[in-house]
C-alpha cells in the first residue's frame, strides 16, 4: 500500500526556526529529512524482495532537490498543541523519465503549509549502469499524482557542475570534516548533512536560506574535509584530492518559487 500522507512530529528545539522579527518557519534541512523519511516509508519505491541486506534492488541517487519554507504565525505554540494541530507530509510524483523520477512534497500543519519540496532521483544498477523503468513501473509511479490544491513549489535547477576558475582566489566561508555521525551506508556523507552544511555556509554569508536548491555532483565520504566557497550567489562545496585538485561535491543556491 502506498502511503501518500503520513503524520510527522516536529522537534521543537531543532526543527523550528525562530528568525529575527518574530518570524517562525520550519528549518529547510528539517523539511528535507521529513520528506526523505516519507519517501522510503511511502511504498512508492518498492522494497527489495530478494535481499534482506538491501532496502531496494537498485541504487537510488538523489541528484537534485529544492525546498521552500514559509512563515507560519505562532508555529512554536501550534506545534506544542498536538491535540488540535497535526503535522503531515504529502508526497506525489511530478514526472517520470527513462530512469529518473521527480517527487513533490507538501508539509502542513492543519491547513497551513510549512514547506514544499521537489527532489529528483535516478535509478541505477549496482554496477553503476542506468536502470530504466518499465512501462508498468511508470504507470504505477504516475498513480501518485499531485493533489488538486496547487502550492508554490521551489524550482529544481541544473547548475553548472564546475568550479569557478582558480583565478577567483576564493576563501572558504566554512570548513567541516565528515565524521562518523555524518555518514550512512557505505560511509557516504548523508545528503541531509550536506544540506545542513550548505545552509550553515549560506547563513554565514548572509544569504537567504528559507528557499534552497542543491545539486549533488560527487560523493563525499568519511574522513573527507569539505570546503564551502562562494562565487557570486552560488555556493560550491568541495573536497581536495591528494594531488591538491579540488573536486566539486555539491552546488547550492537560493531557490526560485514556481506556482504550478
Neighbouring C-beta atoms of residue 195, cutoff 10 Å:
24
Confidence of residue 110 (pLDDT cuts 50, 70, 90): confident
Residues 64 and 117 both lie in one domain? yes
Residues 23 and 133 both lie in one domain? yes
Mean pLDDT of the chain: 86
Segment 183-212 mean pLDDT = 87
Confidence of residue 217 (pLDDT cuts 50, 70, 90): very high
Residues 21 and 64 both lie in one domain? yes
- Which range marks the domain in which residue 114 is found? 1-154
Residues 148 and 49 both lie in one domain? yes
Residues 74 and 145 both lie in one domain? yes
Pairing of strands 5-8, 16-18: unpaired
Residues 9 and 105 both lie in one domain? yes
Residues 133 and 164 both lie in one domain? no
Residues 54 and 7 both lie in one domain? yes
Pairing of strands 211-216, 246-254: antiparallel
Residues 74 and 148 both lie in one domain? yes
Residues 243 and 150 both lie in one domain? no
Grouping H, G, I as helix, E, B as strand and the rest as coil, residue 173 is coil
Euclidean distance between CA atoms 32 and 196, whole angstroms? 10
Angle at 183 between CA 179 and CA 189, to 5 degrees: 95
Q: Which of 23-37, 47-61, 145-159, 162-176 has the highest mean pLDDT?
A: 23-37
> Which of 129, 154, 179 is the last residue in one of the domains?
154
Q: What is the CATH number of the domain that holds 256?
A: 3.10.129.10
Segment 247-260 mean pLDDT = 82
pLDDT at 166 over 70: no
pLDDT at 175 over 90: yes
Q: Is the dihedral of CA 104, 109, 113, 114 positive or negative?
A: negative
Euclidean distance between CA atoms 234 and 253, whole angstroms? 5
Grouping H, G, I as helix, E, B as strand and the rest as coil, residue 222 is coil
Confidence of residue 186 (pLDDT cuts 50, 70, 90): confident
Residues 11 and 134 both lie in one domain? yes
Are 150 and 64 in contact by the 8 Å Cβ rule? The answer is no
pLDDT (tens digit per residue) in 26-68 = 999 999 999 999 999 998 988 877 766 777 788 888 999 999 9
Q: Output the pLDDT for position 153.
A: 86
> Which of 154, 178, 193 is the last residue in one of the domains?
154
Residues 39 and 68 both lie in one domain? yes
> Which of 135, 154, 173 is the last residue in one of the domains?
154
**What is the count of structural domains for the chain?**
2
Instruction: Name the pTM for this structure.
Output: 0.87
Amino acid at each position: 500500500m502506498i502511503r501518500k500522507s503520513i503524520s510527522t512530529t516536529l522537534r521543537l528545539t531543532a526543527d523550528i526556526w525562530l528568525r529575527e522579527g518574530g518570524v517562525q518557519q520550519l528549518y529547510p534541512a528539517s523539511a528535507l529529512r521529513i520528506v526523505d523519511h516519507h519517501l522510503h516509508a511511502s511504498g512508492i519505491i518498492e522494497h527489495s524482495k530478494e535481499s534482506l541486506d538491501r532496502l531496494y534492488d537498485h541504487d537510488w541517487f538523489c541528484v537534485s532537490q529544492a525546498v521552500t519554507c514559509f512563515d507560519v504565525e505562532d508555529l512554536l505554540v501550534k506545534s506544542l498543541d498536538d491535540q488540535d494541530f497535526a503535522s503531515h507530509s504529502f508526497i506525489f510524483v511530478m514526472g517520470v523519465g527513462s530512469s529518473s523520477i521527480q517527487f513533490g512534497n507538501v508539509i502542513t500543519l492543519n491547513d497551513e503549509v510549512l514547506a514544499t519540496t521537489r527532489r529528483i532521483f535516478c535509478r541505477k544498477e549496482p554496477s553503476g549502469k542506468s536502470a530504466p523503468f518499465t512501462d508498468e513501473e511508470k504507470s504505477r509511479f504516475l498513480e501518485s499524482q499531485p493533489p488538486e490544491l496547487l502550492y508554490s513549489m521551489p524550482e529544481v535547477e541544473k547548475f553548472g557542475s564546475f568550479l569557478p576558475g582558480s583565478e577567483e582566489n576564493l576563501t572558504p566561508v566554512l570548513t567541516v570534516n565528515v565524521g562518523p555521525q555524518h555518514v550512512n551506508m557505505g560511509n557516504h556523507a548523508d545528503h541531509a548533512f550536506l544540506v545542513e552544511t550548505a545552509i550553515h555556509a549560506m547563513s554565514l554569508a548572509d544569504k537567504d536560506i528559507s528557499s534552497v536548491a542543491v545539486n549533488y555532483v560527487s560523493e563525499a565520504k568519511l574522513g573527507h574535509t569539505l570546503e564551502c566557497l562562494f562565487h557570486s550567489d552560488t555556493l560550491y562545496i568541495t573536497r581536495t584530492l591528494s594531488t591538491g585538485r579540488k573536486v566539486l561535491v555539491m552546488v547550492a543556491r537560493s531557490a526560485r518559487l514556481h506556482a504550478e
